[in-house]
Each structure stands twice: as structure tokens, then as C-alpha cells.
Amino acid sequence: MGLSSESHRPSKESVKPGKTSNPDPAKLTMVSDYLKRTLSERPYAFILESLAERLETGKGDISLHSVGVICAPADFDPKRVISERTVAFVPYCCKPFDCPMNDQFGRKSSTCQAVDDKCEHTTCSIGAFIKIAKQLGIKEFFVINSDTDLIKWLAVKREEGFTHAVGVACEFAVSYALEVIHSQLGYDGLILIINGDKCRTKTDYAESDTFDRGRLTFIDEWTLMALEEIAKEANNEKAAKEEGQKAAEK
């Protein structure tokens, strides 16, 4: 799941669920910035091709990949996100232009009413995503206002014992961020690929990380339906296991 450089990729033994290495967010931000300046120089089409190779998408569940859900690493069981401590994050560019919080906090902020179940926006895919993610038992959410703040947040959550992530992103962001989130911080989990007016060049992404360029992206309904199906299956398995344990105790 990690990106290109083997020098940044830990051995399988060095990244274990529940194990942290006190990562320094400042150093992780430096790694992130370095990868932006190097990997993002590649043409967009090449980024997509090499990203698929690094994610080993050919080894994963094709039905999930076809609707924009990618397991990372490829052998990760998506239902595991309900049984262990999981965080979720989604980019601010998925916020509608008419989000009621924009006037007070700005669109490019981590503020989101959906986290507190107070969002009444009917077409916001962030709200729909958070609602489904909560069915998986996820309670920790971050709306990405900047890569630096996301990295700091993830580093803190990793030290708190979180091991999995359900991350929403464009291919451009995933192409470099996997090195930090997986190889450096040790998260695995699910990636949901967004649609819409996505960044397609280094300049696009660098500028959108600094200020709101007015792009609107979204998590499409098929991707959300796939995540909801994962939640249903995971909850059914969990309920069956609990019933089995109760029966065994009688």
C-alpha cells in the first residue's frame, strides 16, 4: 500500500495494529511535502496507473473497486473497520457551496455539523458519508482543511490506539498520502475515491491545500451504497457472533 520508495516502507513486522512509534507530525509533514514536489510532477494519467499498481487493485475485490472503494492493503477485510478503533476523514472540497457553516467558518475548515448529527443539508455527501460511517461504529471524524492538520490529527489518534482509517480522497491526494498515512503512521483500511471537479495537476492540489479554489467534489451514491452494504454485513456478523457467545454461555 505504500508509495514508491522502499526506504520509506517499513517491514510487515514494524507496523502492527495497536503499536505506535511516537511519530513526529512535523517530520511527517516534511515527507508529505517532499512527495508532493516529486511524485506529483508525473502526468496525471501516469499517477493513476502507478497508484493502481501500488494499491494492488487487481488483487482486491473488483466489485468494490468498481464503485470507488479500495481496500488498502489489498487483503484488508473491509468489515474489520467495525471491530477495531477506526477514524474517518474527508476533504473540505466535498462541502456544498451553500453549506450553512460556510458564512461563519469558511468552506475550507474542519467544522461540520454532520459530525454532531446536526446537518440538515439534503445533498451533502459528507453528511451522507458520516451517517453511514457511524453505522460502522466510527466516532472520530476529520474534515480536511489542510494536509498538515490532517497529519497532526492522525498522529494523535494513532498514539491513542486507532489502527484503521476510512479515508475519502481524490487519486491525486492518495498518490502521495499513502506513504505518510500507511507506511509512516501504520494505518490500514478503506479508501473512497471522490468524483467531481478534482485536482489534476500539482498546481491545482498545492493551491487547494492553501486556499479554497472553489472546486466541488462529492462521494457518489454508488460508493456510499457500497460502504453502507459493508456496514450492514459487518453489523450482521457482529450480531451473529454475539448471539453465538450468549448461546455458549447458557
Residue 33: the pLDDT is 55
Rounded to two decimals, what is the model's pTM? 0.79
Contacts with 233 (C-beta within 8 Å, 6 or more apart), sequence order: 79
Model pLDDT, residue 26? 66
Give the model's pLDDT for residue 32.
54
Overall residue count recorded for the chain in this entry = 250
Contacts of 39 (CB under 8 A, 6+ apart): 3, 4, 47, 175, 176
pLDDT value of position 86:
96
pLDDT value of position 7: 33
Q: What is the mean pLDDT of each run of 10 residues along the chain (250 residues)?
A: 33 42 63 50 48 62 78 88 91 96 94 93 95 95 93 93 94 73 87 90 82 94 94 93 84
Q: Domain map of the chain by residue range?
A: 23-249
